[in-house]
Structure 1
Amino acid sequence: MANLIGDGRRLLPLLSTPHKGGRSALTCQFRCGNACAHEDGNTSDNAYFGDVVKEALSRRGMLRAGALGAIVATVGVAGAAPALADDPKADADGARHGGGSRSDLRFTPVAPNKDDKLTIPDGYSSSVVVRWGDPVLPGAPEFDFDNQTADAQSKQFGYNCDYVTMFPMGRDRALLCVNHEYTDENLMFRGYTGGAAATEEQIKIALAAHGASVVEIERVGGKGEWKLVTNGRRRYNRRITAQTPMKFSGPAAGSKLLQTAADPKGLKPVGMLNNCAGGTTPWGTVLTAEENFDQYFVNGDKVPAEQKPYAERYTLPSGTSGDFARRFDRVEERFDLAKHPNEANRFGWIVEIDPFDPDSTPIKRTALGRLKHEAATTTIAKDGRLVAYMGDDSRFEYIYKFVSKDRFRPGNDRHNRTLLDEGTLYVAKFTGDSPKSEIDGSGKLPSDGLFDGSGEWIPLVSGKKSFVDGMTAEEVLVYTRVAADKVGATKMDRPEDVERHPTTGGVYVALTNNSRRTVAQVDEANPLPSNKHGYVMEIVEKRNDAGATTFAWSLVLVCGDPNNATTYFAGFDKTKVSPISCPDNVAFDRDGNLWIGTDGNDLGSNDGLFVMPVRGKDRGHLRQFLTVPIGAETCGPMVTQDQRSVFVAVQHPGETDDASPENPSSRWPDGDQPMPSVAVVWHSQGKKIGA
């Protein structure tokens, strides 16, 4: 029986806890298991970012080949960026102020709004490329909201789309690869009242709606519009779900910590969950990041005693009630940790997918560690080694990078595919460089004019060698958060997406927010208490080398309303910038402009996509390019190499606290039920995006 309140409206299940901030409680429930209502997983004594300011400042064929060219152009090649001064601070200043002419971005910014549409600048057009339920595989039926089946969903485009990337196959055709982060059963099914009461078919549909999709797309009209290929063989199309067979590789593969009754050798995990941001490799594959995997399990309190501290560090839920919205354990016993305590260890990895081989087995790369992953942005160090940057998206978590042991060899596919299996995993430690007395919580810049400092990458593990006292290499890789705690990594404000500038080599990190930061924890890198709007950080590694172990950092954006004195836009005139709140996904276009998607705007507007030069006279000139519909988050984003199209994943439209299929708060994009979709925006005259 539906749970009704006095006026006849249906209560949303399990949402009795008041919620603060720009996200709806519904989003928090289904996306991350209402993590912000729980105690933080990190209870270590590690310094918060900047608490140590008193320390001294340390001074396969043609198609793949075509895609590879675009990827190499994105990740760069060894030695492509100019070498800067040896001193980390000089490195930062060089990237910060060196060169670059005034930006050629000329569009009129979109104003903040609460409209139920994709709002774009004058002179631009948009269309939906692919939406939830669109047929992907041969034989997939057309989507029918009221007659969904798990079999149909396993062949159709999945639910909440997040990371988006493209692999060109000539001028007018490409493969589009998209993550499906999570499901919102309240919006997917009529009358849904929680996982305990869900039908088994509904649970199976949710399992099938997770994962990723690979679809062929084609250009329309020679401009910037793209559409789904719906005829022909579509030989590369693929659906990956929570039930797709996978394999482990790297130093932890086969570990006893990964072994289960169904997989006693610990080599064959099943499925991927909560895949958020991602990246690509120079050899033409996708790296997709498993994030809030913990919420899918039950009985985390019933694991063996020796595992309980680790279960708590990864916030695995206790019991089978409370915040559980799905109850996957009702159809697959592996999600019950009382019976299969190692199953949770098989999630939280970077997964590599070959989009050009739909029969290939996705690989969970254990050398990159296990956490609530955001991103896996790759580049090439000056000595040719592969580097991957990653964040851990929770309050007070850490930033990581992986550096391969061996060097990337252009054209040697067999060798290159081993690079992610052996190397060194690092975690970041930051130091501020201003007197603590100058960081008073007002947002006023310190006397040197910047929120900045230096940092180091602390090694955790390299192959079978652990650098963490009391932990084996396998333990470091499976319980990476605990290892980072032990070496004194710096607590951050929800490290999200990470991207590297295509020319300067500067690394940019979205730090979304942290409502739990107290006045006592204010410091140079986190200059405001109760960080509601977030920051964007710039990291410049020594000599601009991705393989370096020291770096300089600065906050290039302190987000919020530019009329508020606490905000900072890289020193640009704040009367000319757009307000921004909660940066989440970031990307660069070929010209080096930084594109920023937001999640949970706490300024009273829909989320949006913004763009900002990070060099030259317009550095910090942030402008809003679009807003997404009511209740939605701006994911992706991706600007094509020819800069004629920008793709955005419009995730969870209509996800507001009072929404249901009977009473939708959004009807985007088709005028009926809200449908998570990938959209494309282009200049109506075929010009470069933003020009």
Structure 2
Amino acid sequence: MPRFELLPMFHRTKGKRSPVTCALKCGNACARGVCNTSDNGYFRDIASKAMSRRAMLGLSGAGALAVAVAACTPAEQTTAVGDPGTFGQNGMKLDFEPIAPVDAAVDAFVVPAGFTWVPILRWGDGLFPDSPAFDPAAQTPEAQARQFGYNNDYSAIQIDPDSDGNAAVLFANHEYVNPGIMFPPDMDQAVARAVARQAQGLSVVDLTRSGPEQPWQVNVDGEHNRRFLIETEYEFTGPAAGSSLLQTKDYPEGDRAQGTLGNCSGGLTPWGTLLSGEENFNTYFVSAAASEAEKRYGMLSEPTETGWEQDLERFDTRNEGYENEANRFGWIVEVDPWDPESTPVKHTAMGRFKHEGANVIVADDGHVVAYMGDDEKFDYLYKFVSKGTYQEGDREANKQLLTEGDLYVAQFAGTSDDEIDGSGALPEDGGFDGTGTWLPLVQEGKSQVSGFSVEEVLVNTRLAADAAGATKMDRCEDVEPSLTTGKVYVACTNNDERGVGGGAGPDEANPRTENRDGHVVELTEADGQTGTAFNWSLLLVCGDPAKNDSAYFSGFPADQVSPISCPDNVAFDSAGTLWISTDGAPSSIGYNDGLFKVTLEGEERGKVEQFLSVPVDAETCGPVIHDQDGSVFVSVQHPGEDGEYTAQRSAFPDYVDADGDGSFTLPRPAVVQVLRAEPSEQDARQRALVGDAEAGDSLRKGLATA
């Protein structure tokens, strides 16, 4: 019997989501009920019925922004990203013919005509001159500590300012592992767990290339190369640093933590550091699960999928002295990739929850604003505003901006909540839209939530947000401001429990019951990035228009778009066009996940075009758009997730019969570069694979070598 048939989510997943992914990534959260049992209202409860749509949307605009440039170097930027130049939406180097959706049975990485792809880094690739060659049959924790980790999610690539443009630094995080396809069945389990621990964390790697528009390659002699491992120490910053809530017998001062867990998405700051969000940290711990806070964060009193509690006593918080160990995770981590001797930090001022990531922008008054989503059903959208202001040219000062500031959580109101019946039908006023308020949790160093100290707000942020009256959302994943317009885009991946079993019902910003396909919120700050009022509308209500008549694309004809489902990560190109990567694929038809371009302005607003498709069982993560070079980068996570070591489902990214005996290399999560190229035999084969499962099987047998 395949191992996934024994998992709690077997026969309960929707679309192509694997029960293995559910077990390993989020601890079968859907099988355990909703963590947020608060009675917080949703849109229809708080909307002002007396306000007309025109009055609600007539608030002042976002105001002028001192737009922060997504850092391409460790120095402050001087070139405006928002200037489309010669790379406008109709003339950029990434013009392409959208690909057709790829059947979920196909093990192929598919790109448009005129493009090719190359893996930059794969799980197990060496990062240092002394890194051992990857040997799947003889893995050790010592080797893995010198190699690229598993299941890379967020990635960022910054050009080295001291180079001729042909050197860069890549950052990637590693979310979780899948021992069932990583390790031989006869491998010692304690060794396997030790390897798994070293396969998580973070990586920084120097890259080189031969010229513009050429593939990047790893420089194993790079001065910035670094692995952040389970033993790596992180310093706490902000008001909760040193709190009794963070103290353990290993760190009685409560000022440091060891390791980072469940890293999902992230963000690139204007001063060239990287942010990474600790997400499903609860799945690593055994807990008494007795307190309100433990239950709210999904802690469990049963053995974990990782089994790390068998080796390290700190992963069982019932052990004396480790009651607070789980409190040391769930933060935003900041890493300086340009200083290999620097100590990474965890910012308590930004709150503790299941962070998808954090993305920042500099407001017109100089304060830095970070937007964050809590990736769980019925959890919340957050904003952090720094106390200090951005100092042009003073990188060390800017690295302190996230250590102190105000923390807010979002409350929404819809214009037509009384028309929302859960079907996803468009309101009579022609759009899903409304206003909202940023509710203060911490302001000017003081708690704004009755009964909570500042430390309690920041360590148990979910409970504080419940008390404040935040609006329950459908899994806010990546949240990112456009550096071109200042508008903020929120990827709400899905929530199939919306309106089910007595939970929160549909409202205008979450207009469908059993929301399996997700949607994208466009948010405009009403009185500047640091203000407390905003306007919002839904840019997309996702799905396959051919099979889901509630799919909505901002009025763009539904029969002219690529089907899209489960939006996860977002990114922007130099023209300010939105790109969305997906995790779950169209639930009604079963396509592989992909990367999609979405037009935001003009007559084609809402037009969705699929750019690439990832292999069987895989998720598309960490998109980076370097359209000036004609390149797109994505992290391919958990390819072949449903396989077993002796019966793999994917051969990505190598697609070769390594031994010539009909066996295949292991599937290896990887960072992939897509770039312009003359049509090749490989490209032609991949384009012919669309919707053809038999061709996909042929590809796994080595036909797509190049």
TM-score (norm 1): 0.88
Relative to 1, partners in 2 of residues 1:43 and 1:653: Cα closer, same or farther, differing over 3 Å? same
Residue 662 of structure 2 corresponds to which residue in structure 1?
Answer: none
1:130-141 correspondence runs (5 A): 130-141=121-132
Relative to 1, partners in 2 of residues 1:463 and 1:18: Cα closer, same or farther, differing over 3 Å? farther
Residue 558 of structure 1 corresponds to which residue in structure 2?
Answer: 541
Residue 24 of structure 1 corresponds to which residue in structure 2?
Answer: 18
Does the Cα contact within 8 Å between 1:75 and 1:282 map onto a contact in 2?
no
Residue 190 of structure 2 corresponds to which residue in structure 1?
Answer: 200
Residue 92 of structure 1 corresponds to which residue in structure 2?
Answer: none
Alignment of 1:227 with 2:209, yes or no, is: no
Alignment of 1:216 with 2:209, yes or no, is: no
In structure 1, what residue type is equivalent to 2:287?
Answer: N
Relative to 1, partners in 2 of residues 1:70 and 1:421: Cα closer, same or farther, differing over 3 Å? closer
Describe the superposition over 1:169-204 as per-residue Cα deviations: whole angstroms up to 9, x where unpaired.
Answer: 131110000010111111111228xxxx96221111
Relative to 1, partners in 2 of residues 1:561 and 1:117: Cα closer, same or farther, differing over 3 Å? same
1:263-342 correspondence runs (5 A): 263-301=251-289, 308-320=291-303, 324-339=304-319, 340-342=322-324
Relative to 1, partners in 2 of residues 1:626 and 1:101: Cα closer, same or farther, differing over 3 Å? closer
Describe the superposition over 1:99-118 as per-residue Cα deviations: whole angstroms up to 9, x where unpaired.
Answer: x9867674211111132111
Describe the superposition over 1:140-188 as per-residue Cα deviations: whole angstroms up to 9, x where unpaired.
Answer: 1011001000011111000001001011113111000001011111111
Residue 365 of structure 2 corresponds to which residue in structure 1?
Answer: 383
Relative to 1, partners in 2 of residues 1:450 and 1:142: Cα closer, same or farther, differing over 3 Å? same
> Where does structure 1 lack aligned partners over 5 or more consecutive residues?
82-99, 687-691
Deviation at 1:71, TM superposition (A): 6.0
Alignment of 1:176 with 2:170, yes or no, is: yes
Relative to 1, partners in 2 of residues 1:183 and 1:49: Cα closer, same or farther, differing over 3 Å? farther
In structure 2, what residue type is equivalent to 1:674?
Answer: P
1:287-436 correspondence runs (5 A): 287-301=275-289, 308-320=291-303, 324-339=304-319, 340-434=322-416, 436=418
Does the Cα contact within 8 Å between 2:600 and 2:606 map onto a contact in 1?
yes
Runs (4+) of structure 1 exceeding 3 A deviation are 9-18, 53-59, 68-76, 100-106
Relative to 1, partners in 2 of residues 1:435 and 1:246: Cα closer, same or farther, differing over 3 Å? closer
Residue 598 of structure 1 corresponds to which residue in structure 2?
Answer: 582
Deviation at 1:13, TM superposition (A): 5.8
Give the Cα separation in 1 of the matches to 2:217 and 2:455: 44
1:28-47 correspondence runs (5 A): 28-47=22-41
Residue 535 of structure 1 corresponds to which residue in structure 2?
Answer: 519
Does the Cα contact within 8 Å between 2:148 and 2:203 map onto a contact in 1?
yes
1:78-157 correspondence runs (5 A): 106-114=95-103, 115-157=106-148
> Where does structure 2 lack aligned partners over 5 or more consecutive residues?
60-69, 656-664, 680-706
Deviation at 1:53, TM superposition (A): 3.2
Residue 227 of structure 2 corresponds to which residue in structure 1?
Answer: 239
Deviation at 1:413, TM superposition (A): 2.3
SS at 2:508 equivalent: coil
In structure 2, what residue type is equivalent to 1:505?
Answer: G
Does the Cα contact within 8 Å between 2:76 and 2:392 map onto a contact in 1?
no
In structure 2, what residue type is equivalent to 1:445?
Answer: L
Relative to 1, partners in 2 of residues 1:51 and 1:228: Cα closer, same or farther, differing over 3 Å? farther
Does the Cα contact within 8 Å between 1:594 and 1:613 map onto a contact in 2?
yes
Relative to 1, partners in 2 of residues 1:108 and 1:248: Cα closer, same or farther, differing over 3 Å? same
SS at 1:269 equivalent: strand
Does the Cα contact within 8 Å between 1:70 and 1:641 map onto a contact in 2?
no
Give the Cα separation in 1 of the matches to 2:653 and 2:257: 36
In structure 2, what residue type is equivalent to 1:377?
Answer: N
Does the Cα contact within 8 Å between 1:251 and 1:463 map onto a contact in 2?
no
In structure 1, what residue type is equivalent to 2:651?
Answer: R
Deviation at 1:467, TM superposition (A): 0.3
Describe the superposition over 1:484-539 as per-residue Cα deviations: whole angstroms up to 9, x where unpaired.
Answer: 00000000000000111121111001000001011771221122110000001100
Relative to 1, partners in 2 of residues 1:356 and 1:298: Cα closer, same or farther, differing over 3 Å? same
Relative to 1, partners in 2 of residues 1:362 and 1:205: Cα closer, same or farther, differing over 3 Å? same
Deviation at 1:644, TM superposition (A): 1.7
Does the Cα contact within 8 Å between 2:75 and 2:393 map onto a contact in 1?
no
SS at 2:388 equivalent: strand
Alignment of 1:67 with 2:76, yes or no, is: no
Q: 1:667 aligns with which of 647, 651, 660?
A: 651
Relative to 1, partners in 2 of residues 1:51 and 1:491: Cα closer, same or farther, differing over 3 Å? same
Does the Cα contact within 8 Å between 2:8 and 2:31 map onto a contact in 1?
no
Identity of aligned residues (%): 49
SS at 1:631 equivalent: coil
1:245-256 correspondence runs (5 A): 245-256=233-244
Give the Cα separation in 2 of the matches to 1:44 and 1:103: 49
TM-score (norm 2): 0.87
Residue 509 of structure 1 corresponds to which residue in structure 2?
Answer: 490
Give the Cα separation in 2 of the matches to 1:387 and 1:234: 33
Residue 183 of structure 2 corresponds to which residue in structure 1?
Answer: 189
SS at 2:23 equivalent: helix
Does the Cα contact within 8 Å between 2:173 and 2:276 map onto a contact in 1?
yes
In structure 2, what residue type is equivalent to 1:208?
Answer: Q
In structure 2, what residue type is equivalent to 1:546?
Answer: Q
Does the Cα contact within 8 Å between 2:361 and 2:483 map onto a contact in 1?
no
SS at 1:483 equivalent: helix
Give the Cα separation in 2 of the matches to 1:72 and 1:211: 32
SS at 1:481 equivalent: helix
Describe the superposition over 1:265-319 as per-residue Cα deviations: whole angstroms up to 9, x where unpaired.
Answer: 0011000001001012222111110000000001333xxx6xx110001001113
Does the Cα contact within 8 Å between 2:4 and 2:20 map onto a contact in 1?
no
In structure 1, what residue type is equivalent to 2:266?
Answer: G
In structure 2, what residue type is equivalent to 1:409?
Answer: Q
Describe the superposition over 1:416-436 as per-residue Cα deviations: whole angstroms up to 9, x where unpaired.
Answer: 222111110010000001151
Describe the superposition over 1:49-97 as per-residue Cα deviations: whole angstroms up to 9, x where unpaired.
Answer: 44433555565xxxx9960468676788xxx99xxxxxxxxxxxxxxxx
Deviation at 1:613, TM superposition (A): 1.2
Relative to 1, partners in 2 of residues 1:511 and 1:596: Cα closer, same or farther, differing over 3 Å? same
Deviation at 1:25, TM superposition (A): 0.2
Give the Cα separation in 2 of the matches to 1:581 and 1:103: 27
Give the Cα separation in 2 of the matches to 1:613 and 1:16: 36
User: Which deviates more, 470-479 or 113-122?
Assistant: 113-122
Deviation at 1:444, TM superposition (A): 2.2
In structure 2, what residue type is equivalent to 1:47?
Answer: G
SS at 1:200 equivalent: helix
Give the Cα separation in 2 of the matches to 1:645 and 1:106: 11
Relative to 1, partners in 2 of residues 1:16 and 1:510: Cα closer, same or farther, differing over 3 Å? closer
Deviation at 1:252, TM superposition (A): 0.4
1:530-679 correspondence runs (5 A): 530-543=514-527, 545-563=528-546, 564-601=548-585, 602=587, 603-640=589-626, 642-656=628-642, 659-671=643-655, 672-679=665-672
Deviation at 1:229, TM superposition (A): 2.0
SS at 1:460 equivalent: strand
Give the Cα separation in 2 of the matches to 1:365 and 1:132: 28
Does the Cα contact within 8 Å between 2:598 and 2:605 map onto a contact in 1?
yes
Relative to 1, partners in 2 of residues 1:473 and 1:56: Cα closer, same or farther, differing over 3 Å? farther
Does the Cα contact within 8 Å between 2:330 and 2:353 map onto a contact in 1?
yes
User: Which deviates more, 562-571 or 490-499?
Assistant: 562-571
In structure 2, what residue type is equivalent to 1:557?
Answer: L
Number of equivalent positions: 636
